Structure 1
Amino acid sequence: MDKKTEEFYERLKEELRTTSSWPTLYLYKFIVPTDQSKIIAVENAFDNMGAVINTTQSKTGKFTSISVNVPMESPEHVVEKYLEVSTIEGIISL
Structure 2
Amino acid sequence: MEKKQFDKASFREKLENSGEFPMLYMFKFIVPKGKESEVASLFPRNEVKTKASSTGKYVSSTIQAMMDNPDDIISIYEQAAEIEGLIAL
Aligned residue for 1:89? 84
Aligned residue for 1:42? 39
SS in 2 for 1:71: strand
How much has 1:11 moved relative to structure 2? 1.2
Q: Distance in 1 between matches of 2:5 and 2:51?
A: 30
Q: What is the CA deviation profile of residues 3-33 of structure 1, one whole-angstrom value per residue up to 9, with x for unaligned ones? A: 932x2x2211101101111001100000000
Runs of 4+ in structure 1 off by over 2 angstroms are: none
Structure 1 gaps of 5+ residues are none
Q: What is the TM-score of this pair, normalised by structure 1?
A: 0.86
Q: Distance in 2 between matches of 1:68 and 1:23?
A: 16
Alpha-carbon RMSD across the aligned residues, in angstroms, is: 1.6
How much has 1:52 moved relative to structure 2? 2.5
Percent of aligned positions that are identical: 32
SS in 2 for 1:66: strand
Structure 2 gaps of 5+ residues are none
Query: 1:50-65 to 2 correspondence within 5 Å?
Result: 51-65=46-60
Q: Distance in 1 between matches of 2:59 and 2:43?
A: 17
